[in-house]
Structure 1
Amino acid sequence: MKNLLLIILVCLAANVTSAQTTWVIDPTHSSIQFEVSHMTVSSVTGSFTSYAGTLTSKKNSFDDAKVVVTIETNSITTNNMERDKNLKDDDFFSAEKYPEIKFESTSFKKTDGNNYLIVGNLTIKDITHEVTLKTEFGGIISIDDKKKAGFKATTSINRFNYGLQWNDVLDNGGLIVGDKVDITLNVELIKQ
């Protein structure tokens, strides 16, 4: 009888452990991009090229999943070496002093259809604020004995809230570099 009880407990523990699913970002099929207004008449786009992240789910769906992403600040690129150097300096990201940007979700909820809202804490230059990402689930496929899932998430932040303070005003009163930054993440995940 004791052996039967032990076997049941081991099976229950295995089921609890296996119920958690981890997905890892595939950086070769993902992107983290941003866009900010320039001189009030156009915009500049850029991206981060080095990052890692996981999505961990305790359910068969993604409801209540946990997302953790780390971005290497020094990997910022706008395809302009002089501007990229300025973005890495103290006027903006202070990449040497703050080598990582971090995001950690606090909520992952389905709203309707394939749409989710992900709420979490975004940390830039050791300053943390809550952000909400409107997220569209692209689906799950199986290829080469691996499961892959895709998401597109968007949010906007005020760069001044994160200490990205460089500022210069145009004759018309507008900012050379806008305060609002639009962020788009296209993420492909691989099930572990």
Structure 2
Amino acid sequence: MKRWKLLLATTALFVGMTASAQTKWKLDKSHSSVRFSVTHMVVSEAEGTFKMWDGTVEHSKPDFSDAKISFTVDVNSINTDNERRDGHLKSDDFFNAEKFPTMKFESTSMQSVGGNKYKLNGNLTIRDITKPVSFDVTYGGILAGSRGRKAGFKATTTINRFDYNLKWDRATETGGLVVGKDVEVTVKVELDEVK
């Protein structure tokens, strides 16, 4: 009887440890991207990317619902296919990349909203301002291959650039902003499991 109790206790401990074991992921940068778009002259959109960024994901639940996500972006790597515009975006009118070279995101929760959809909440820091933000996330799934496991996600949100002191706001002749206040952000990531 004591042997059975000991065996059951050992099994329960092992199952508990396995269930709470952290799975860690790193970004596959060659298959990931950070993009943004904003209205320009009221009638069109300007788009850009950041070329240098990094991030990690850790979770213990198989559905990623307890994921802890950390993400950083090198502001100096901004690229809109226009050097003059990139220089302006790096200036104090926008990011002030010299003084604030990094944007950061730290998650606070990842909530399943049904199927492969999630709501990712966290704190976004741009310049010296940190504000809460929510991303709509689509989970692409996990693929196990000869090189290990991969997972994929797409996350989108819209932020008001004035909330982060990206303050340039010259008006057009019709009264609209040359550069809109709302910026759409799309992050597509492919993750490699860390062994």
Regarding TM over 0.5, the answer is: yes
Q: Does 1:108 align with 2:106?
A: no
Aligned partners of 2:151, 2:132: CA distance in 1, in Å? 25
The answer to whether structure 1 residue 189 and structure 2 residue 176 are counterparts is: no
Distance 1:17 1:82 in 2: 52
- Whether the 8 Å CA contact 2:20–2:61 is kept in 1: the answer is no
The alignment's C-alpha RMSD in Å is 2.1
Counterpart code for 1:93: F
TM-score (norm 2): 0.90
Q: Which residue is equivalent to 1:50?
A: 52
Question: How far apart are residue 61 of structure 1 and its match?
Answer: 1.9
Which letter maps to 2:61?
Answer: K
TM-fit CA distance, 1:25: 1.2
Q: Cα deviations across residues 55-113 of structure 1 (Å, max 9, x unaligned)? A: 11022220111000011110111010000011111111011100100000001011100
Corresponding position of 1:83: 85
Matched residue of 2:62: which SS?
Answer: coil
Matched, 1:25 2:27: yes
**Structure 2 unaligned blocks of 5 or more:** 1-5
**Aligned partner (choices 67, 83, 106) of residue 65 of structure 1:** 67
TM-score (normalised: structure 1)? 0.91
List runs of 5+ in structure 1 lacking aligned partners: none
Spell out the pairing of 1:32-43 with structure 2 (5 A cutoff): 32-43=34-45
1:147-186 residue pairs with structure 2 within 5 A? 147-186=149-188
Whole-angstrom distance in 1 between the partners of 2:146 and 2:78: 32
1:70 alignment partner AA? T
Amino acid at match of 1:71: V
Q: Give me the whole-angstrom Cα distance separating, in 1, the residues matched to 2:20 and 2:28.
A: 22
Deviation at 1:16, TM superposition (A): 5.8
Q: Which amino acid aligns with 1:63?
A: S
> What count of residue pairs does the alignment treat as equivalent?
187
2:3 maps to which residue? none
Is the contact between residue 53 and residue 71 of structure 2 (CA under 8 Å) also seen in structure 1? Answer: yes
Go from structure 1 to structure 2 and tell me whether the alpha carbon gap of 1:156 and 1:50 turns closer, same or farther (over 3 Å shift). Answer: same
1:92-107 matches, within 5 Å, as 92-107=94-109
Q: Which runs of 4+ in 1 moved over 2 A?
A: 14-18
Shift of 1:146: 1.1
CA drift of 1:18 comes to: 6.9
Aligned-partner Cα distance in 2 for 1:138–1:17: 22
Q: Separation in 2 of the partners of 1:58 and 1:143?
A: 21
